[in-house]
Structure 1
């Protein structure tokens, strides 16, 4: 996936995840955060990870599986990607 280093969207997602994880660490170290607050942060991280996985999967499909020369049925591809997102 050498093309990914050019994708600011993916890099920004990773940086956001890094910040969210650091926030959980800080709350745990502080020792005064409620369990609910930490669980909400972890749930947000889980959603962000799923979003990153979906984005990487789509990039892989478009660049490595379908390729530039393939005529892509965008409607069918969108339906397939929605199906993947539903079960991830």
Structure 2
């Protein structure tokens, strides 16, 4: 069983909280809230996304790189992660 499957309830709870945060941004914009308030909401979302991303990256590293079944799978998982990180860092 994969790490995202094992951690599914916890990960989905985090996604749902972020969804609620995005809805708060929408409500704030609709209500013409001050830009400082909107920026604070966006900063919270960015932090939540970074935390979720970090958790999934860590699980990927442990399960698919460190504890890979063989060298070919380890290489594939490392390349996958490298590709994602290149996109993420841009």
* Alignment of 1:57 onto 2:57: yes
Aligned equivalents of 1:6 and 1:30: distance in 2? 40
Q: Structure 2: state its 5+ residue gaps.
A: 70-88
Find the counterpart in structure 2 of residue 19 from structure 1. 20
Aligned equivalents of 1:20 and 1:6: distance in 2? 25
Shift of 1:68: 6.9
Q: Structure 1: state its 5+ residue gaps.
A: 70-87
Could you say which structure has the greater relative contact order, defined with CA pairs below 8 angstroms and 6 or more residues apart?
A: 1
- C-alpha RMSD of the superposition: 2.2
Normalising by structure 1, what TM-score?
Answer: 0.68
Deviating 4+ runs (over 6 angstroms): none
Q: How many residues align?
A: 69
Aligned equivalents of 1:67 and 1:11: distance in 2? 25
Normalising by structure 2, what TM-score?
Answer: 0.66
